[in-house]
Amino acid sequence: MAQEKTYKIAVIPGDGTGPEVIREGVKVLDAAAERFGFKLSYNYFDWGGERYLKTGDTIPKGGIDELRKHDAIYLGAIGHPDVTPGILEKEILLRIRFELDQYINLRPVKLYPGVWTPIKDKGPEDIDFVVVRENTEGLYAGGGGFLRKGTPQEVAIQESINTRFGVERCLRYAFEFCRKRNKKKTLTLVGKTNVLTYAWNLWERTFYEVAKEYPDIKTDYAHVDATCMWFVKNPEWFDVIVTDNMFGDIITDLGAIIQGGMGIAAGGNINPEGVSMFEPIGGSAPKYTGKNVINPLAAICAGMMMLEHLGEEEAARAIENAVIKVCRDHLKSLSAGKMGYSTSEVGDLVANYT
C-alpha cells in the first residue's frame, strides 16, 4: 500500500478568538485529509499577546527557522488589547511575511450564494475577483525616520521603497495567476501614477514590459481612489488586480466587506518557492473571545487556500462546496453571535459536508 502523503503544518493560533477559529479550521482540514487520503501533522506555536505579556518575547530565538521546516503555516489572529498596537503586528505578522519572503498577499474576493453583502443589486456573479498584493516592500519596508522629533520643527518621513526585483516578481505572479484563473483574463494595475510619480512609474513601466510576455492577458489600469468607488459600484468589472502593499491593504479590506465581511474573508501570504502562511483576515476580536460565537468560516477558508496551495485541489474544492452549503442552507448571518449556530457547530457542519 502506498505511503500517504503527510504535510507538516506550523499552527500559530495567536490571540483572542484565534485559537477558537483555528480549532474549527483544523477539524475541517482533518476531515478533508481523511476523505482525500493525505495526512496533516501539526506543530503548535504559542506566539502572540499572552506570551509577550508574560515573557516580553514575540518570536523566540530560532523561531523563524522552526517555521522553515514546515510545508505551510496556519495563523489564527495576532493582536491583544493590553499590548501597544504595532508591536505584535510588526514583530510577529510582518516579521514572518518579510523573513520568509512571502512576497505575495493573495486575497480572493468572492461572494458566495446566500451571503449578505452590504452593497445593492450585486450578487455572486458580480463579486468574484482576486487581489494580488505585493507583501514585502513599499511603505511596509519600514524606511524613514524623524528629524527634530518632539520639537515644533519636527519632520517625520515614511518611505515607500520599491525595487524592480520586488515589483517584477509580484507582477509576474499576477500575470501567471490571471492566466491560470482563465476568467476574463484581465489584469488591472491599481496605483496612483498621476501623483506618486516615482513608485508608480516603476510599477507602470514594469507592468507594460512584463505584459508583452502575456499577449493573452488584457491589461488595465485604475487609480486607487477610483478603484474604491468601483468596488462598491461596479465590482463586476474586475478579474485580477495587482497593487502595492499599502494600497493592497486598503482595497482588500474593502473587498472583504463586499464579500460578506470578516466572517468569511481569508488570505494567503505566499512565497512560491518557500513556506507560505494562510490566515483569516479579521482581527483577534477580544470581545468575543471564549464565547463560542465567532464565525470560523474565514479560518476554514484560509485552510482551504492552504490545501489548494499544497496541491490538494480536490480537497480544497470539497471544503469550498461545504462552506457554500453552510452559508446557503444554515447560517442566518455571518456575524459573530448572529449565525444561529455556535463556532464549533459551524465547524462540525462544514466538516460533515466536506
Ligand X SMILES: CC(C)[C@H](C(=O)O)[C@@H](O)C(=O)O
- The torsion angles phi and psi of 62, rounded to 5 degrees, stand at 80, -5
Binding site for ligand X (CB under 6 A): 89, 93-94, 194-195, 225, 249, 281
Binding site for a copy of itself (CB under 8 A): 85-86, 89-90, 94, 117-121, 139-140, 142-146, 151-165, 192-202, 224-226, 228-229, 232-233, 246, 249-254, 256-258, 261
Minimum distance from CB of 233 to a copy of itself (Å)? 5
What is the distance between the alpha carbons of residues 64 and 67, in angstroms, rounded to a whole number?
Answer: 5
The interface partner of residue 66, options being ligand X, a copy of itself, none and the CB cut-off 5 to 8 Å by kind, is none
Looking at residue 247, its amino acid is F
Minimum distance from CB of 343 to ligand X (Å)? 22
C-alpha cell at 43: 506543530
The interface partner of residue 233, options being ligand X, a copy of itself, none and the CB cut-off 5 to 8 Å by kind, is a copy of itself
Decide whether 2 or 157 has the Cβ nearer to a copy of itself.
157
Q: Which of 177, 182, 187, 214 is nearest to 308 (CA)?
A: 177
Bridge partners (DSSP) of residue 279 are 267
Closest residue to ligand X, Cβ-based? 89
Decide whether 130 or 217 has the Cβ nearer to ligand X.
130
Q: Give the full edge-to-edge strand order of the sheet including 128-134.
A: 38-44, 5-14, 72-77, 276-280, 266-270, 104-110, 128-134, 240-243, 186-191, 218-223
Decide whether 176 or 253 has the Cβ nearer to a copy of itself.
253
Decide whether 37 or 85 has the Cβ nearer to a copy of itself.
85
Decide whether 89 or 313 has the Cβ nearer to ligand X.
89
Beta carbons of 263 and 343 less than 8 angstroms apart: no
Minimum distance from CB of 200 to ligand X (Å)? 12
For residue 6, give the H/E element and its range.
strand 5-14
Minimum distance from CB of 268 to ligand X (Å)? 11
C-alpha cell at 189: 494595475
Decide whether 133 or 325 has the Cβ nearer to ligand X.
133
Minimum distance from CB of 188 to a copy of itself (Å)? 15
Decide whether 85 or 340 has the Cβ nearer to a copy of itself.
85
Beta carbons of 12 and 76 less than 8 angstroms apart: yes
CA angle 309, 131, 327 (to 5 degrees): 70
Decide whether 177 or 230 has the Cβ nearer to a copy of itself.
230
Minimum distance from CB of 224 to ligand X (Å)? 9
What is the distance between the alpha carbons of residues 341 and 203, in angstroms, rounded to a whole number?
Answer: 46
Looking at residue 302, its amino acid is A
Minimum distance from CB of 206 to a copy of itself (Å)? 9
Minimum distance from CB of 138 to a copy of itself (Å)? 9
Q: Which of 219, 136, 201, 218 is nearest to 170 (CA)?
A: 136
Decide whether 144 or 274 has the Cβ nearer to a copy of itself.
144
Q: For residue 127, how many other CB atoms are within 10 A of its CB?
A: 22
Minimum distance from CB of 204 to ligand X (Å)? 16
The interface partner of residue 321, options being ligand X, a copy of itself, none and the CB cut-off 5 to 8 Å by kind, is none
The interface partner of residue 154, options being a copy of itself, ligand X, none and the CB cut-off 5 to 8 Å by kind, is a copy of itself
Question: How far is C-alpha 60 from the chain's CA centre?
Answer: 24
Q: Which of 289, 242, 303, 287 is nearest to 106 (CA)?
A: 242
Beta carbons of 110 and 240 less than 8 angstroms apart: no
